[in-house]
Structure 1
Amino acid sequence: MRPVIARVRSRVVPPAPYVTETNVGRSGSSSEIERHSTSSPSAATTLARVTTSGSVGPAPGPGDASPAWHEPWAVDGFRDAVQQVLLDVVDEHDAWLDGLGEDAVRLLDAARTSLTGGKRLRAAFCYWAFHAVPDRAGGGASADALLRACASLEVLHASALVHDDLMDLSDTRRGRPATHRAFADLHQRSGWTGDPEQYGASAAVLLGDLLLAWSDELLSGSGLPPERVLAARPWFDRCRTEVVAGQFLDVSAQARGRADVDVAMRVLRYKSAKYSVERPLHVGAALAGAGPDVVEALSRFGLPLGEAFQLRDDLLGVFGDPAVTGKPAGDDLVEGKRTVLVALALDALPGPDARHLDATLGTALAPDEVAGLAALVESSGARAQVEQVIDQLTERALAGLDALRSLGADPQALTVLRDLADAATRRSL
C-alpha cells in the first residue's frame, strides 16, 4: 500500500489556495472570490451566544451585562433556543392549516419530528459568522430575528434529511423511524388501500418539499432589515441549489456502482460540505454586511471544515456506535454508500477482498456480515487515511480563522468558531 499521506493528499485535499470565482447573480452583487484552504484540530466544546431579547450588536464589553448564555456558554441553551424557533414555525403553520382534518395533523406532527433533535451546527455557524464580521451592519435588529434567520438553515437541513432517507431507503433517523417508514407503517396499520411503501414515499416527498418552503419563509420573515435579508438571499439560494445538485451527483454515483475517490469527494463537497458549513457562514456574514475579504476568509475556513465534517460522518456511518448515532451499525455499508472511505478501501484491498466488498455493498446483510465488512475497511488502512485527511483539512480551515483575525474579526466569535470546528470534526454522532 502506498504511503497514507501521499495517496490521499493529491486526491482528496486540494492544494492551497483552491480558488474559484463565483457570481452571486443578484442585482447589485459582484463577483466573489472564494479561496478554499485548510488547518489543525483545535479547542474544546461548541459555544454560541444568543439573546432572546434586545438588539443584535457587538459582544458586550467589560462593563456591559452579559446576555443570556454569553459566559459561561452552555451549548444546550443555544440548541434549545433554535429548537423553540422550529417548533414555533410548526405551530404557526398549524394555525394556518387548522380545519383540514387529521391528515394535515399527521403531516404537521411529522414536521415536528423532523425538526426535533440534531446538533444545530448550521445555525451556530451562521450566528457566529454574523458576530465575527468587523463593523457589522444590522444594528437594531433583534436577536430573535437573527436566531430565526439562522434557524432557517436547520429547516433546510431537515428537508434534505427527509429526502435523503427516502432515496437511501434508510429505516431510521436519530433513533426514530425515517419519515417514509413511519408513514408506510401508518398505512399498513390502518388497513388502507394501495401500496404502503408508495404512500410512505409520497408523504416523505411532500414533507421534504414543505420543509424546503418553510426554510425560505423563515429567512424572509425573520424580522431582520429587508436589505440585510436581500444581501443574504443569494448565498441561501445557492446553498439550496448546491445541496440538490450534490444529492443528484450522489444518486448518480450510486447508480453507476463505482467507488471513485474523486467522484466521492465531489459528492461530499456539494451534498454536504458547502451547505453544512461554508454557506451558513456566508449567510451569517451577509446578514452582517460583510465585504468580499471577510467572505473569502470564511470560505477558507468553511469549505475544508465542511469536508472534514462529512468525512467524520462517513467514518461514523461504518464505525459509529448505534446507541449514540441513532443509526444501525455499519448503516452506510448496508445502504451501499460509495463514500471516500469506501473508495479508499477498495483501492487498497487485495483483489479478492476488494471484489467481495464491492459486490456485498448495499445488499441485505446480517449483523456479523456488516461487522466483517467494517473489519475489511479497517484492515485496508482507509480509516486511518481518512482520520489523517480530517486532520489536514481542519488545519487548513483554522488558517482561515487567522485570516479573519487579521481583518479585525470579533475575538469571541473567533474562539467560538474554533470550538465549533472541533465539535464538527471530533464528534461521535
Structure 2
Amino acid sequence: MTDLKALYQTIEKRNPNDAEFLQAVEEVFESLSVIADVHPEKLDEDVLARLVEPERQIIFRVPWVDDQGKTQVNRGFRIQFNSAIGPYKGGLRFHPSVNVSIIKFLGFEQIFKNALTTLPMGGGKGGSDFDPKGKSDGEVMRFCQSFMTELFRHIGANTDVPAGDIGVGAREIGYMFGQYKRIRDEFTGVLTGKGLSYGGSLVRTEATGYGLCYFTQAMLEDKGTNFENKTVVISGSGNVAIYACQKAQEFGAKVVTLSDSNGFIYDPDGIDLATVKDIKEIRRGRIKEYLELHPTATYTEGKRPWSIPCDIALPCATQNELDLEDAKELVKNGVMAVCEGANMPTTPDAIHYLLENKILYAPGKASNAGGVACSGLEMSQNAEHLSWSFKDVDDKLRHIMINIFKTCRDTAAEYGHPDQYVVGANIASYLKVAEAMKAQGCV
C-alpha cells in the first residue's frame, strides 16, 4: 500500500523552500488518500514518486536593454513537468513574484487540469520575474526577444507549447512568436494565444472567463438553480475576470466587484464592463479609474472584495488570495458557491471551511481549464491549417467545461464524497495520467 504521508515527507525534504509547490502537492495527496481508502490498488507509489518530480527544470538568464541604454537582467524559467499524455502545455507568467516554487506549483496543477480537458496535453509552466507594467513597447519587445532566444531550444509544436498567463498577453506572445520564427526559420504552432492574423484562435481571449462560467452554470443547474438574478463578486481585472464578468452578466447575474493589486471597486448597480475594458485593455490603467465615470461606485485600497455580500464568488486574480477569514466572511454573508478562475486562489484552511459549511466549491484545475482547453483547440486548428468560427470554438469550449464538471461530480460520488469537486477533479485526472505513465514504462 502506498504511504502518502511518507512520500510527502520525502517531497518536503527535497523541496524545502517551495511553499506554493508543497501546498499544491498536499492538496492533491489529500484527495488521493480517498483512493487509498476505497481502491488502494489504483495508487501506484512508483508513479507518484515520478509524478511529483518535474521531467525537466530550466532556469536561464534574460539580459535586455532598457530605453536608457542600460542592460537589465532577469531570470527565466520553464518547468516541463509531465508529458505522459501529450506535449508539455502551460502558460508563461511575467511578474516580479515569479520564482521556482510558483512555476513548479503551476506546472504541477497543469498536469491535472490538462488531463481533465481530455485533450492530448501534458503539464508545464514557465515565466520570468520581469514586470511588463510601466515598460514601453520597445522594452517589452527586447525582453521577449531575449527570453525566446534561450527558450526556443526547449520548445516545439510537438514538444512544449507555451501560452500566456499573468503579464503575458497578445503583445508579448506576438514578440516571442516573431523571435522563434526568426531563429528557427519555421512557421509552426509553437505558442498559443497568438493573434488572429497569424494562427490564433477565436475565443482564446475570452476562454478562461467563459469556461469558468460554463462550469459554474453546470454546477448550479445540477443543484436546480443558475446565475439568473444572482449577485456575483469577482476579483481581478485581467482577461479571466473581464470575460467571467461578461458571461455572468449574459447569464443574468449582477456582477458588483472587480479588483487589481492595489484594491477593489464595488458598484452596487452592476459593473459597467465597457468602462473596465477601456481602462484595462486600451489604456492599461488601474481599476480605481472606474470611479471617474461611475462616481456612485466605491474603491477600497489594499483590500480584496470578499467582504461584499454575494451569492457567488469567483476569485480570478492570483494564488492564495482568499484565506480563512475571507471564507468566513463569505459564508456569513450567504455565499452559495465559490468557483476558482485563478490558479489555487483559495488557501487550504479556507477550502476546508467552505466544504464544512456545505458551500459549492470548484477548484481551479477544473473550473479555470477553459483557457488551456481553447489553447488545445488552437493547436488543433494550427495542425489542420484551419481557422474555426467563434461559434464552433465556443460550442466546443462549453462542451468541454460541462464534461469536466460531470467528470468531477461523478468521480467524487463514486469515491464516496458527493459534491466535493476537488476530490473528483484530482482523482479523475490522476487516474488518467497514471495509466499513461504505467503504460510507457519507467520514464
> Is TM-score (shorter-chain normalized) higher than 0.5?
no
| Structure ranking higher on relative contact order (CA contacts 8 Å, 6+ apart) | 1
With the length of structure 1 as denominator, give the TM-score of the two structures. Answer: 0.29
Which structure has the highest helix share of the two? 1
